[in-house]
Amino acid sequence: MQLMENSAAAVNPEVSHAVSQTRKTSPKSVEKKRELALHAISSLAELGFARINLRDVAQRSGVSLGVIHYYFESKTELLIYCVGLYKEDFIIGLKDLIAQARQVDKLAAGVADYLADTIDQHAHIHRLWYDVRAQAQFDAAFQPAVEEVEHALIDVFRVLLAKLQELNIDCAHKEPLALYITLDGWFRYFLQHKLMGKTGAIDAFRQRVLAEFSAICKTI
């Protein structure tokens, strides 16, 4: 079977591409791609969008440039995949926290701690997300991925509002998008302060999130 695939690929370039894509989507290849991305994301975050070079990423990740190119056709594809992978884990963690909450005060404190801690520990990765989001205004290649991630982030706040309703909280905000825009603005603002080395940025952000909860939840 392997020989037949190789022979067909040699005769027909379209078959060659199809065979290559099939290999890349096998369970083993998908897992390898994910593993490679997890190694690469720290390098991407450290370099920043403007300075990303696949050769540098390969060297910092301890793999060959050929391996990078096998799974990712361009730095754009690698960047989109890595940021999406991180944001997926970030969103799952936040939704799990919300789902497990049984009291509104603990929910507010848990969300505030989660968001503050992720700025403190993963500031450069979140900076990379904002780089990608900004780049989507200039490069259409980034737009579908950015839209997908933002829809997922907005859905977090739909889940949050539903949880507050479950806890019998009368919320001033009813629209997930409005709440997302508010907290995302504060998130980016204090992320910038953290990256600029301003002391107290993390604690200030934590208090800001708690203040937003107090503003939207009339009984807190």
Coil, strand or helix: which one is 134?
helix
Percent over 70 (pLDDT), the chain: 87
Domain ranges of the chain: 1-73, 75-220
- What does the DSSP 8-state code read for residue 108? H
What pLDDT score does 42 carry?
Answer: 81
- What does the DSSP 8-state code read for residue 171? B
pTM for this one?
Answer: 0.82
Nearest Cα neighbor of 119 from 40, 193, 29 is 193
- Contact between 100 and 162 (Cβ < 8 Å): no
Torsional sign, CA 34, 36, 39, 41: negative
What pLDDT score does 30 carry?
Answer: 84
- Count other Cβ atoms within 10 Å, centred on residue 95: 16
- What does the DSSP 8-state code read for residue 103? S
Per-residue pLDDT reduced to its tens digit, 107-149: 999 999 999 999 999 999 999 999 999 999 999 999 999 999 9
- Tokens 């505030």 locate to 112
- Count other Cβ atoms within 10 Å, centred on residue 82: 26
What pLDDT score does 107 carry?
Answer: 96
**Fold held by 75-220:** Tetracycline Repressor; domain 2 (1.10.357)
**Fold held by 1-73:** Arc Repressor Mutant, subunit A (1.10.10)
Residues in the chain predicted with pLDDT less than 70, given as ranges, are 1-25, 173, 218-220
- What does the DSSP 8-state code read for residue 63? S
What pLDDT score does 43 carry?
Answer: 81
CA 24 to chain centroid, in Å, comes to 22
Dihedral, 54, 58, 60, 62 alpha carbons, nearest 10: 180
